[in-house]
Amino acid sequence: MFEILFGIALIVLASKVGPALAHRIGSDGAGPEVERKLQALAQRLQQTEERVMTVMADSHERLVDIEERLDFAERVLQQQRTQGKLGQGE
C-alpha cells in the first residue's frame, strides 16, 4: 500500500514540478549543459514513473489474489458452520 501512495505522490509531484522547471530553464536561455542535464532528468523521471506503474500493477494483482483467498476461506468456514463442524462462536 505504501508503494502505491508513494508512486502516486511521485507522479503528482513530477507532473507539477517537471514542466515548471523545464519552462523556467528554457525561458532563461539555458546553455547546452543545462539542457543535457534536463534531458537526463526527464529520462530518469520517465523510468521512475514506469517502475512505479509496474509496482502499482503488481500490488494490485497481489491484492486481488489476497481478496480471492479471503473469499475462499470465508466460504469454507461458512460451509463448515452450516454442516455443524464448527461451534457457533464458542
Report pLDDT for 4: 72
Tell me what pLDDT residue 35 has. 87
Give residue-wise pLDDT tens across range 35-86: 899 999 999 999 999 999 999 999 999 999 999 999 999 999 999 888 876 6
pLDDT at residue number 7: 72
* 55 contacts 3 by C-beta, under 8 angstroms: yes
Averaged pLDDT, 11-31 = 65
Determine contact, residues 34/25, Cβ cutoff 8 Å.
Answer: yes
Query: According to the model, what pLDDT value does residue 50 have?
Result: 93
Phi and psi, residue 24, nearest 5°: -65, -45
